[in-house]
Structure 1
Amino acid sequence: MIFYEPGRHKDQGFRHDPFKAFVSPRPIGWISTVDADGRTNLAPYSFFNAMSFLPPVVVFGTGTKPDGSPKDSQRNVEATGEFVCNIVSEALKEQMNETSAHLPHGDDEMAKAGLRGAACQKVRPLRVAAAPVALECRYLETVKLPSWNEPAGNYAIFGEVIGVHVDPAIVEDGLVDVTRYRPVSRLGYFDYATVTEVFQMMRPD
């Protein structure tokens, strides 16, 4: 076995720290928010997952700008108390990647990527109309995480899911079929993957 301490991967011949390759695949939280003036922001986060079921809670992790100031998603969520997590299908992978570009504050990544927004039921941010699933979320809290690059920081942002939009085309016999929309996940480096097949295992008890 190869052993290395985080941050010292090159001692063992790794060109880049493979941590994110190990913790994979990771679902992508495509987070849409609005600022205090109602301007839309859309950005993908690969540090994202569901944390509980009753009630459903999701979390996404974000860094800051080099000077420690928050990125637009964090700023908007904390200011408005709302966000939407759009699930990325394989058909939307290029648009998702387009929205990862760093645009000036106030610019609309959704429009720039050629995406149409749709109104939500319980929150103000638009959802991505073409997304197969969109989770309307109420902001819960922000947890500050350690940082090796201060003043830049790392934060985990939690939200409770209070509404769900589902494309009926991905539902069969009352169950969601992920192979119908092939959710995109992040691996290590610049690698991605999609879900193309599934298998079942029942719990022993």
Structure 2
Amino acid sequence: MQLQKEEIDQLERKFRLNLINSISGIKPANLIGTKSQSDQENVAIFSSVVHLGSNPAQLGFIMRPQTEIPRDTYPNILNSGFYTINHISESFIKKAHFTSAKLKRGDSEFERMKLEPEYLDNFFAPFVKESAVKIGMKYQESIPLPNGCLFVIGSVEIIHLPDHIINELGQVDLNGYAGVGISGLNSYYGLNKLATFPYVREEEIPDFE
């Protein structure tokens, strides 16, 4: 298949949606947990979390346009200033996926999907107890994107993860907790470590054939 921009624009809507969402490859699978000022807990799945820098430690993610009736995640982040990022494992893929449903405002995905909120170190926002890797975030800023989405930037405040999935270099072993990735909007893949290579210096580049 070969498609020019004009042909892409003319594709059937759902086909184009699935195609463009999946051609970027495997994306991280995370649940973002928030809580309102009235203590209403919410959690939603995101596949757009990215590393921004390690000093200071910052992560970002993309929020859909807020032009319609806003869902709970973004207002909760703005009002409280805190949220959590929680890795998804194979054991609760289905529950995590269904947090994408548009519930009535005020309904909790934790309750509907039978996920357990967990509070650690007096952090305001709830973590997902089932998750192996839990990250507490403090909201920094939102950058408007050309398509109406928002790029939300936060600082890493707390990290919780089992000792056995991190090595002496600080690298997290995604195999160690059966982490998963997302392709497109609704296809999930297991993650298997294939190799680890050294930091690349020009003089150490091998002779490839």
Do the structures match in fold with TM over 0.5? yes
Alpha-carbon RMSD: 2.4
Question: What is the rounded CA distance, in whole Å, between the counterparts of 2:10 and 2:102 in structure 1?
Answer: 32
Q: Greater helix share, 1 or 2?
A: 2
1:85 Cα deviation (Å)? 0.3
Contact 1:132 1:170 in 2 (8 A): no
1:63 Cα deviation (Å)? 1.1
Pairing 1:33-182 to 2, within 5 Å after superposition? 33-64=34-65, 67-121=67-121, 123-147=123-147, 153-171=148-166, 176-182=172-178
**Count of aligned positions:** 198
1:88 Cα deviation (Å)? 0.6
Question: What is the rounded CA distance, in whole Å, between the counterparts of 2:133 and 2:123 in structure 1?
Answer: 15
Question: What is the rounded CA distance, in whole Å, between the counterparts of 1:186 and 1:124 in structure 2?
Answer: 28
Contact 2:31 2:43 in 1 (8 A): yes
Residue 201 of structure 1 aligns with which residue?
197
Q: Percent of aligned pairs with the same residue? A: 21
Residue 16 of structure 2 aligns with which residue?
16
Question: What is the rounded CA distance, in whole Å, between the counterparts of 1:159 and 1:122 in structure 2?
Answer: 18
Gaps of 5+ in 2: 202-209
1:198 Cα deviation (Å)? 2.8
Gaps of 5+ in 1: 148-152
Contact 1:120 1:136 in 2 (8 A): no
1:73 Cα deviation (Å)? 0.7
Contact 2:97 2:186 in 1 (8 A): no
Q: Greater strand share, 1 or 2?
A: 1
| CA deviations over 1:126-163 (Å, ceiling 9, x no partner) | 1011100110000000111123xxxxx41111111110
Tell me the TM-score normalized by structure 1: 0.85
| CA deviations over 1:156-202 (Å, ceiling 9, x no partner) | 11111110011345346675322121222111253221212331122
1:79 Cα deviation (Å)? 0.9
Question: What is the rounded CA distance, in whole Å, between the counterparts of 1:106 and 1:169 in structure 2?
Answer: 37
